[in-house]
Amino acid sequence: MKATVLRVLEQFVAEPRPCSYLEGRSASLEYRVMTGVSAEELERLLERGWRRFGLAYFRPACRACTECVPLRVPVSTFVQSRSQRRVLAKGAGFRMRMDAPGVDDARMNLYHRWHAGRSERRGWDDDGMTPERYFHEFAFPHPAAREITWFDGDKLIAVSLVDETPRALSAVYTYHDPDYERFSLGTLSVLTQIEIARRSGKNCVYLGYRVLGCASSQYKARYLPHEVLRAMPATTAAPEWTRVDTDPLAGRV
């Protein structure tokens, strides 16, 4: 088999825009559009704070703010909380599969129902997701791309897009049926990824960026102990991850 060659098609730092996480702040992302990225090369990027949607790789590049902190959960030391164990028990009756990502009417309908619920509860704007855009962001062929789905009988109720590298899983995106809110399917997804990583001998699960001032991101700090990346190193520099044993928001009102 002919080896793929990594090619950087485009590289830039985006102009500042209103921050999606913290009101009143601006945000900017460093982007690389690349082809031929192997699972091993993706892992080196994840270790240095990068994320992936399709061919686009990105990480925060905000000059005046460092609130977006990459977070990962080492699977060998992770301890389930009482509430997390309850989520696993409630979701035990659902059927779970792990395959290559795809796009079809069932996924698009579920995505739009989930996003409409978030728009109503959290004021999200309509993101105009189309099957073509979904394919390019979530289902574009990549050696690391995986999809975890949950079914209640034959009904699709949750989809998690995940990247799998030799030593890690990376949670890319999850959406689920708003009628199943009581089952905490987002939490079930993370716990499932941690268990899959543990069983397959991987070291950790990357959960993206923790933003303590953003309600929709704070949940990541509840997976303990976890590790955070204190700075965004250069591609050739060694990353420095620091262990965190307690929820930094515990006890706050």
Q: Is residue 2 part of a domain?
A: no
Q: Is residue 111 part of a domain?
A: yes
CATH code: domain of residue 52:
3.40.630.30
**Would you tell me how many other CB atoms lie within 10 Å of the CB of residue 56?**
17
Q: Is residue 1 part of a domain?
A: no
Query: For residues 114 and 177, is the Cβ–Cβ distance under 8 A?
Result: yes
Note the pLDDT of residue 3.
Answer: 60
Note the pLDDT of residue 122.
Answer: 54
Q: Tokens 């791309």 — which residue?
A: 145
Three-class HEC string of the chain: CCCCCCEEEEEEECCCEECCCCCCCEECEEEEEEECCCHHHHHHHHCCCCEEECCEEEEECCCCCCCCEEEEEECCCCCCCHHHHHHHHHCCCCEEEEECCCCCHHHHHHHHHHHHHHHHHHCCCCCCCCHHHHHHHHHCCCCCEEEEEEEECCEEEEEEEEEEECCEEEEEEEEECHHHHHHCHHHHHHHHHHHHHHHCCCCEEEEEEECCCCCCCHHHHHCCCEEEECCCCCCCCCCCEEEECCCCCCCCC
Q: Which two tokens stand for residue 213?
A: 């001032």
Q: Is residue 253 part of a domain?
A: no
Note the pLDDT of residue 117.
Answer: 73
Note the pLDDT of residue 241.
Answer: 98
pLDDT in tens, the chain (253 residues): 456 799 999 999 999 999 989 999 999 999 999 999 999 999 999 999 999 999 999 999 998 899 999 999 999 999 999 999 999 999 999 999 999 999 999 999 999 999 887 755 655 566 789 999 999 999 999 999 999 999 999 999 999 999 999 999 999 999 999 999 999 999 999 999 999 999 999 999 999 999 998 888 889 999 999 999 989 999 889 999 999 999 888 765 4
Q: Is residue 251 part of a domain?
A: no
Note the pLDDT of residue 64.
Answer: 85
Note the pLDDT of residue 17.
Answer: 93
Q: Is residue 250 part of a domain?
A: no
Parallel, antiparallel or unpaired: strands 95-99 and 69-74: unpaired
Q: Is residue 83 part of a domain?
A: yes
Print the domain residue range for 98. 7-244
Give me the number of domains the chain comprises.
1
Note the pLDDT of residue 211.
Answer: 94
